[in-house]
Structure formats: C-alpha cells, structure tokens
Structure 1
Amino acid sequence: MEESTDRPTKKKVVAVVGGGLVGALNACFFAKRGFDVKVFETREDIRQAKIVKGRSINLALSHRGRQALNHVGMEDKIVSQGIPMHARMIHSLSGKQSPIPYGKKGQYILSVDRSNLNKELLTAAETYPNTKLNFDHKLQDWRAETGLMTFVRSDGSEEQIKADLIVGCDGAFSAIRKQFLRRSRFNYSQTYIPHGYMELTIPPINGEFSMKPNYLHIWPRNTFMMIALPNTDKTFTCTLFMPFDEFEKITTGDEVIEFFQKYFPDTIPLIGVDALKRDYFHLPAQAMVSVKCSPYHIGDTCVLMGDAAHAVVPFYGQGMNAGFEDCIVFDEILDQFNDDFSVVLPEYTRVRVPDDHAIADLAMYNYVEMRAHVNSKWFLFRKHVDNFLHFLMPKTLVPLYTMVTFTRTRYHQALERWKWQDKMINRGLLFSATGAVFGGSYLLIKNPPDIDKLIVPAEKMWNSIVALRTS
C-alpha cells in the first residue's frame, strides 16, 4: 500500500478517535487519500496485549463490509481467514436440524474473529507512511471550533493535537459524541433491550468441528435463543440471548444443567457438563444497546461513524458491515465534493442517517424472527414463496435479507421495498386462496357429489369412534 501522490502537498490532519474496527479501517481510507492520519486509542495495542478486553460476539462479514475492505486492498486476506456460512441451521427441541439457506446457491456470509480482524486492520493502517497509531491515549477534551484535542495517558501525562477533521469512531459510549449532546438541535436516543447475552464455547472433537461448520446454528425458543458460529480453531462460539430476569433465575450449576436439559439438550454433550456449570457463571450476562442520533457532524470539523453514530443490536449481523459501509460512503462523498469538508460532512449526515436508523430497526425486528418466526410453518412457507418469486423475477422481487446482506441497496430503501413487496405478495396469496375457494365451490355446484355415498362412510367412522370411547 502506497500513499497517493495526486493530492495537494499540504496535508490536512485527520484525527481518528478509536482504534477499533471502524477506526482502523477509516485510517486506511483517509491515508489512501493522502491525509495526515493520527489514530488515538484508549486501550493498549491489542496486537501486543496478553488479554484483549471488550466484546467478542462473533462477526458476520457480508457484502457491504467486503466492499469497504476491498477498497483498501484487504478483502482477500480477511475472507481467507473467515469461515463461509451458507445457511441458518435450525435446531428444534427434539434435536432435529433443518437448514434455511441465506440466498441463492453460492451466496454466504463469513464468520470472522473480531480480535484478529482488528489486528489486521491496525497493521494495514500502519503500513501507510502518513499514518501514526497512538495507543494509551484517552480523550479528555476537544473543541469543535478549533479542532484542538487533549489526551491523557495512563501515566498522567497529557498531549494536545490540532486536527482539521476529527472522526469519532469510539463506540456506543463515545467520548466524542458527548460534545454533540451539549449542542442544540442534536437528536439522541438510546434503548437497552430487556435481553442480555452470554458466551459459551463448543470445543472440537478429536481435532474437528463437533457440528457442521458452514452454518450459523440457531436454537430458537420463542422468547430467547442460542446461536453458534464456527471459528478457525474448530471451536464454535455460542451466544445465549435471553431476558435478564431469566438469566437471574439460574443461580447454581445444577440449575444451569436443568435449564439446558429443558431447552438445549443436544448442546450439553457438545459443551460439556462441567464447562457449562463453570462458564455460565464466568461473566454475568451483558447488556445490548441501540443508539440513534442526528446529525452526525458538527460544522466542518467533526463527524461520527460506526457505533458512535449508530450502535445496533447484533441480530442482523450488520453492525460491523454498517460501520464499514460508513467509511466507503464518506469516501464516495469526498470524491463527489473534492475533499471539501464544509460540504462533505452535511451531505454525509443527509445520506447516512436514514440508512443507519433503518438498520437499527431491522436489527430489532430480526431478533423476533430468529428466536420465534423460524419455528413458524407460515414463515418457512413465505421464505419458499419469496425465493421462488425472486427466481422468476430477480430484479422485481428481492427478499429483504438478500437486499441487506448481499447488495449495497441503501438500508432505508431496502426496508421500504420490503414492506411494499410483502403487501403485494400477501395480497397475491389471498387472491389465490380466494380464487381456489370460489373455483372449488363452483365445481361442487356444477358437479355435486353423491350424498348417499358420503353418509355411509361417515356413519361407520362415527360408530368406530363411539366404540373406542366406550371400550
């Protein structure tokens, strides 16, 4: 990767606050454009840390994220380190397994390791000579009017830097966003869902995967669920999503086993009784928050991206993909307006806010689908209908999941189109059913059956029932 030479010699300074996934990828984007990029991360360098703190829910990389990685030459490397998942594998209470494909043949999402991906992106950012990574730098204060920022290190020392653009990529509890909250006409909301999550591990058996690896495994139980994603070390990371009050009812190891015997009996031999009793109490259930805000910018000096702008619950597998798409959308707008921040930042807010709000809503909806709807025969029937119609009319009728996961259709447009399609398909099914009823009625009227022939078998059936009940 080389620094671009077709930019002005006087470089603008871009300060990226947050060295997580979106921050590290953003550093690559800005460095590629020739900006002087400085990344500031509160934590130590995770590439050298013995224990990496933070969330570890497996990530599902799909088309939007891959497109952003491709833009900075990272797609092939990351894809080679992931595991393709071609379908959901639904585990019933009886242990039966039923696959539900994600899309057309050949379409898949990738299970990727969060920590490894973050390390790869930091290393990629560091290869640009115009990028400097600064770890152990906690943001203490900043000024939108001047671009002046103050950071504090763990030893108590301070450092000030001035930036032409401040990019807040510092997560759902963003320090950058706190300044936004002090300004008028900034809309902000956060919603904690009543469900938490807990991670467990299914180890390999004889060095191999203990379940089929190329699936996202789901145990839907209506009000809660468990999922499992494959890892390259042949383990599965299981995540149990459940209301907090249900987590709190389980207080002993025996109660853990009793709970799993009731709802996830097929996983007990896979996880192991002792491991279940131990790991369930290793960490308490963690909360999940959905954040919406607007605008994403202040003047021409600061902009929010990733979870700092739109934290979403993890049920559509789009949190990282949406954050990565932020990077490529911003880059496209920089191209459109020749790096003029005074025009680029308002345009980014205008374009991106409705999409990020839409994916936040879709992520909430998909939790209900994953834990409950996949058990429904009507849901499965509609899936077949949707896929069949998509096969017949690939450009006219596109399933929602396909639009969200395998295209860059804007999220809010995908949501609107899905609502329209759903209404049209349901009407079509209703008309078809109504037509079948009227057609059947017409045939019965034109060709009435012999009633005498129907009465005799009916009488025999009734007599048999009476005999059984009295025996």
Structure 2
Amino acid sequence: MPKVIIVGAGLVGALNACYFSQLGWDTEVYEYRSDVRELEENSGRVINLTLAGRGRKALEGVGLKDEVVRHGLEITHRLVHYVDETTKAHPIARPGEYLLCIGRRKLNTICLDHAEKFPNVKLFFKHKAQKVDPIDGTVTLTKLETQEKVEVSADLILACDGAFSAIRRSLLYYPRFDYSQTFLEDGYIELRIPEKNGKYAWDPNLAHFFPRGNILLVVFANTESKTFNVTLFAPYTKFEQLDTERKQTSFFKETFPDAFRLLGEENIIQAFKRTKPQPLVSVKCQPYTFNGKVVLMGDAAHAMYPFIGQGMNAGFEDCRLLNECLRQYDFDIAKALDVYSKARPKDAHAINDIALRNYHVLRNTIRGPYYVIRRIIDMKLHSILNSLWIPYPSMVLFSDIPYHKVVEKRIQQDSILFFGMTFIGLVIFAYCIQAIF
C-alpha cells in the first residue's frame, strides 16, 4: 500500500490520519508538541471551536460525527449583550441548524484515538519538522529529546503544521509559489468565567457577543467544565492603554458590566498578567501541491481570522475533498493533487475574505436594525423560494456550496434586493404623486 506522512497531529492532521488509516495506507504522523492526550491542560489556543455543517460532514466520512456531537453543546442562537445590560437573541441560521461548541483538546483526542486504532498508523510526538524535499518526497525532522536529525520519505506528504508551517516555509522559493500573510491591527486575550455553584453562570447553549464598535468580546461555554471561555478582541493600541490593573478592571466594568461581575477583578488582572495580546493572522497561498507529492492543508494552506468559525471546518473539508479526489482518480496521487490544488485555493481565499468581513459585522452591524431586517427578509424569501434563496449564514455554515460560489450568490441576492426595493420605492413614489395631483 502507499505510504503517507502527515506533519502535524492537530485537528486537520489527526482527521487526515483517520481518513488514510481507513484506506489502509501506511500512515506516519509527526508532531512538534507532546501528545495532547497526556497533557493536564492544553497548551494551545482555547478560542472555542464551533463545528458547523462542513466539519460534521467530514467527520461523518470517518464515522466520528455522532461521537463528536455527543461531547458538544448545540448553539442555535447568538445573544447580543448591550452596554446597558439589555440583550437580544438572534438565530444563527435557519430553524434546525446549529453550531456545535466543543473543546479543541476533546476533538483532537477523539480523532487521534480513532486513528490509533488502526495498525497501519504510527504517531510520533516531539518531532520538529525542518524542511521538505518535494522532488524526493522526503521530510527532515529533529527529535527534540535527543536533537537527532531524521529523514523520512513517503508517496504522499501532508503539511498540516499550522499557520506558521515549517513545511510551507521550506517551499517559499519553489517556482511560482505565491504566498502572503496579513496580520490584523487587533489582537486578543483569553479569560475564563468560573462556574457558579457548580453550574454554568449563563446559558451554555447560547453564543454570547458583546459588540462595541472596534472592540468585541465573545463568550462560549467550555464543554469540559462548567466554565465559559472569554475572548477579547481589540486594537493593539487599546491593549497598550490598559497598562495598569486599575485601567484593566475599569475598562471591563464600564464596557462589559454584566461580564465583569462574573469574571471578577482578580480574574481580569491575572489574565492580563498571564499573557500578552496574541496576533491574528490570515494566510493565502497557491498552489497547494508540489511535484505531485506534497500538499498543504488546513492552516498551513489558508489560516484565517476566527470571526466566521470556519477555520477548523474548512480544514476538515480539505480532508474530505482530498480523499474524494483520490478516490475519483483511482488513487493516482499526482492527478488527484493537481485537481485538488487547482480548485481549492479559490474557495480558501474566499472564506478568508468572508472571515474578515464578518469581523466588522460582529463588531458593528449586528447591533443595528439592518442586520435584523435583512435576516427577516432572507428567511421569508427562503420560506417561499426554498433552495432558490438560501440565507447567507446557512450557505457559509451549513451547506457544502463552494465558498467562492457562496460569495457569488450573496452578491446576486444583494443585487436582487437592491433593485427590488428600488422598484417598490418608485411604485410608492409614483402612487403618491398620482394621489397628490
């Protein structure tokens, strides 16, 4: 059987291991960090994962969807918190559609455990990737415990080693490889709302949003305890202003009063002491495949801002689509990778742009009447036209419509509404003129 090397045992790498283990391929996974399953606390980011339709479909392909859903919380509504402590709930999408909130570590563990059940899968931790040779199909790594350099080879190499991928970096001088990364002027810090009397302090089945213009606070339930993970997004200039404990606590008290009471002053102070604001990066590149042997996947190919909740979902979709390409072309690796690489960047670039635009929606538009009115119109038209008019959030989150097609359909819908409203306005105007004269 062919052999595949997967660099990175995070979410996308682990799910790829599940797919290739079921194909019977000899599968070796190399990870820079320790085994996440053996850590007392995940050392990676804790920005909550929201598993949507694309991600669930990819998990279904390896028989893990039901297992994952069992460990998650269904989120059907977004609860917007205003400064005066009033709230308003908005549905995430159409009735029956929901996001699944689940811990990163738990999901990673489920995928790794499943892959490791197969005898053709080998997992290697504390192995740091250095470079890849797409001509020979080899990866050079360093064993961190001994500093020994090792070289491994395979028929197919999957780079799933994250936004700052070492494999991708070693390919930067490959002919005709386009690459760009963009950092937001905003960063984020993470806090945690403790449990209250052994229970969640708020409704765990809601996504809590606090839009404040150029500042956004997002709160999701932690599925591995009765706590809430809290993420504050703000310009770096704002974080620089919060340079004393008094300023930090005053900022939360004035800007997010209801969240402030649950967080508490000491919790806020310790969060600012514990970590500095973390950067937010978007990565675009193409092609994704090199010499018919190496393919970039997940964040290594298209890291995106976390404001549409599609980073993991798009990465999982990568796994499913690559598997489908391999099957479609009878496991001709070079042909399958060529087809995959020609199609996927267009969609990945589209979802990167969607994620950035949604940041502005979450910080501003979601508070205003336009957002509510547009949602009502979309739902009414959908009830009349069915699949001919699908609301934008549903297309992004719960369909498998290619992302670039989603953008095209959204533009078409905007144009139809603009001309429709213009026509109605002209009719009303003409009627009023006729009535006057």
Q: Is the TM-score greater than 0.5?
A: yes
Residue of structure 2 in register with 1:459 after alignment: none
Q: TM-score, normalised by structure 2?
A: 0.97
Residue of structure 1 in register with 2:390 after alignment: 398
Aligned mates of 1:153, 1:400 — CA distance in 2:
46
1:177-220, Cα deviation, whole Å (9 max, x unpaired): 12321112111110001110111111221122211221111000
Q: CA deviation at 1:115?
A: 1.1
Q: Which runs of 4+ in 1 moved over 4 A?
A: none
Residue of structure 2 in register with 1:258 after alignment: 250
Residue of structure 1 in register with 2:185 after alignment: 194
Residue of structure 1 in register with 2:303 after alignment: 311
CA RMSD between the two structures: 1.2
- Is 1:205–2:184 an aligned residue pair? no
1:353-364 alignment, distance < 5 Å: 353-364=345-356
Q: Is the 8 A contact 1:253 1:278 kept in 2?
A: no
1:13 maps to which of 3, 6, 9: 3
Residue of structure 1 in register with 2:368 after alignment: 376
Aligned mates of 2:255, 2:131 — CA distance in 1:
49
Q: CA deviation at 1:320?
A: 0.1
Question: What is the SS of the residue equivalent to 2:307?
Answer: helix
Identity %: 39
- Is 1:340–2:352 an aligned residue pair? no
- Is 1:144–2:131 an aligned residue pair? no
Q: CA deviation at 1:443?
A: 2.6
Aligned mates of 1:186, 1:142 — CA distance in 2:
15
Q: CA deviation at 1:52?
A: 2.7
Question: What is the SS of the residue equivalent to 1:315?
Answer: coil
Residue of structure 2 in register with 1:283 after alignment: 275
Question: What is the SS of the residue equivalent to 2:136?
Answer: coil
1:167 maps to which of 145, 158, 180: 158
Q: CA deviation at 1:51?
A: 4.0
2:239 maps to which of 244, 247, 258: 247
Q: Which runs of 5+ in 1 are unaligned?
A: 1-10, 446-471
Amino acid at match of 2:125: F
Q: CA deviation at 1:91?
A: 0.6
Question: What is the SS of the residue equivalent to 1:138?
Answer: strand
1:293 maps to which of 254, 278, 285: 285
Q: CA deviation at 1:149?
A: 2.2
Residue of structure 2 in register with 1:123 after alignment: 113
2:433 maps to which of 419, 441, 450: 441
Q: Is the 8 A contact 2:130 2:167 kept in 1?
A: no
Q: Is the 8 A contact 2:46 2:229 kept in 1?
A: no
Residue of structure 2 in register with 1:216 after alignment: 207
Q: Is the 8 A contact 2:211 2:364 kept in 1?
A: yes
Q: CA deviation at 1:146?
A: 0.9
1:253-294, Cα deviation, whole Å (9 max, x unpaired): 111121112211111111112212222332111001000000
Amino acid at match of 1:177: R
1:72 maps to which of 44, 57, 62: 62
Question: What is the SS of the residue equivalent to 1:142?
Answer: strand
- Is 1:90–2:80 an aligned residue pair? yes
Amino acid at match of 1:207: G
In the alignment of these two chains, the number of paired residues is: 435
1:326-384, Cα deviation, whole Å (9 max, x unpaired): 00000111111001011011100111110100000000000000000011212221111
- Is 1:229–2:224 an aligned residue pair? no
Aligned mates of 1:376, 1:51 — CA distance in 2:
39
Q: TM-score, normalised by structure 1?
A: 0.90
Aligned mates of 1:377, 1:127 — CA distance in 2:
52
- Is 1:108–2:98 an aligned residue pair? yes
1:213-263, Cα deviation, whole Å (9 max, x unpaired): 211110001111101011222211111000011011001111112111221
Aligned mates of 1:169, 1:47 — CA distance in 2:
18
Aligned mates of 1:273, 1:26 — CA distance in 2:
43
Q: Is the 8 A contact 1:299 1:345 kept in 2?
A: no
1:28 maps to which of 15, 18, 33: 18
Q: Is the 8 A contact 1:47 1:119 kept in 2?
A: yes
Question: What is the SS of the residue equivalent to 1:395?
Answer: helix
Aligned mates of 2:41, 2:75 — CA distance in 1:
28
Residue of structure 1 in register with 2:37 after alignment: 47
Most deviating of 15-24 and 435-444: 435-444
Aligned mates of 1:51, 1:58 — CA distance in 2:
15
Aligned mates of 2:265, 2:38 — CA distance in 1:
34
1:100-157, Cα deviation, whole Å (9 max, x unpaired): 1012222110111001111111111101111100111111233111112222112212
Residue of structure 2 in register with 1:416 after alignment: 408
1:151-175, Cα deviation, whole Å (9 max, x unpaired): 2112212322211111100001111
